[in-house]
Homo-oligomer: A and B are copies of this chain.
Amino acid sequence: MAAQHVRNVLWIMCDQLRWDYLSCYGHPRLHTPNIDRLASRGVRFTNAFVQGPVCGPSRMSYYTGRYVTSHGAVWNFVPMPIGEMTLGDFLRPHGVRVAVAGKTHVEADRAGIRRLGIDPRSTEGVLAAEGGFEPFDRDDGIWPPGFADESHQYTAYLRERGYDGANPWHDHANSAAGDNGEILSGWNLRHARLPARVREEDSETPYMTRRAIDFIEQSGDRPWMLHLSYIKPHWPYVAPAPYHAMYAPDDVLPVRRHPSELHHAHPVLQGFRNCEVSRNFSRAEVRDTVIPTYMGLIKQLDDQLGVLFDYLERTGRFDDTMIIFSSDHGDYLGDHYLGEKELFHDSVVKVPLIICDPRANAARGHVESRLVEAIDLVPTILDAYGLTIPDHVVEGRSLTPLLRGEAPREWRDAVFSENDYAFRDFVREPVGRPADGCHITMVRDHDWKFVHFEGLRPQLFDLRNDPDEFVDLGADPAYAAVRERFQARLFDWLRNRRIHPTISHDAMAGWTRKEDEVGIHIGRW
Contacts and interface: CB of A to CB of B under 8 A. Distances in A.
A123 interface: yes
Name which of A277, A424, A520 has the most chain B CB atoms within 10 A of its CB.
Answer: A520
Contacts of A128: 116
Given A188-B525, A519-B144, A505 B422 contact: yes
A407 interface: no
A116 B80 CA distance: 14
Contacts of A122: 117
Interface stretch (A83-91, A153-161, A193-201, A315-323): A83-91
A146 interface: yes
B89 A115 contact: yes
A68 B502 CA distance: 13
Interface stretch (A71-79, A368-376, A465-473): A71-79
A503 B144 contact: no
Interface residues of A, number: 94
Nearest to A189: B525
Interface in A491-525: 491, 494-497, 499-503, 505-506, 508-513, 517-525
A495 B276 CA distance: 31
A33 interface: no
A211 interface: no
Interface stretch (A219-227, A278-286, A380-388): A278-286
Given A74-B503, A109-B502, A147-B518, A508 B116 contact: no
A84 B84 CA distance: 11
Given A144-B520, A146-B519, A423-B511, A392 B500 contact: no
Given A423-B508, A425-B513, A513-B425, A523 B72 contact: no
Contacts of A112: 83, 502
A472 to B, nearest CB: 21
Interface string A95-129: 00000000000000101100111110011110010
Contacts of A189: 523-525
Name which of A70, A85, A426 has the most chain B CB atoms within 10 A of its CB.
Answer: A85
A309 to B, nearest CB: 33
Contacts of A147: 518-519
Contact of A499 (B69, B109, B118, B119): B69
A428 interface: yes
Given A275-B523, A425-B513, A499 B281 contact: no
B439 A525 contact: no
A361 to B, nearest CB: 34
B78 A500 contact: yes
Interface in A232-269: 235
A508 B72 contact: no
Nearest to A522: B277
B85 A83 contact: no
B73 A502 contact: yes
Nearest to A72: B500
B502 A72 contact: yes
A519 B188 contact: no
B116 A78 contact: no
A142 interface: yes
Contacts of A84: 83
Given A79-B503, A435-B509, A525 B280 contact: yes
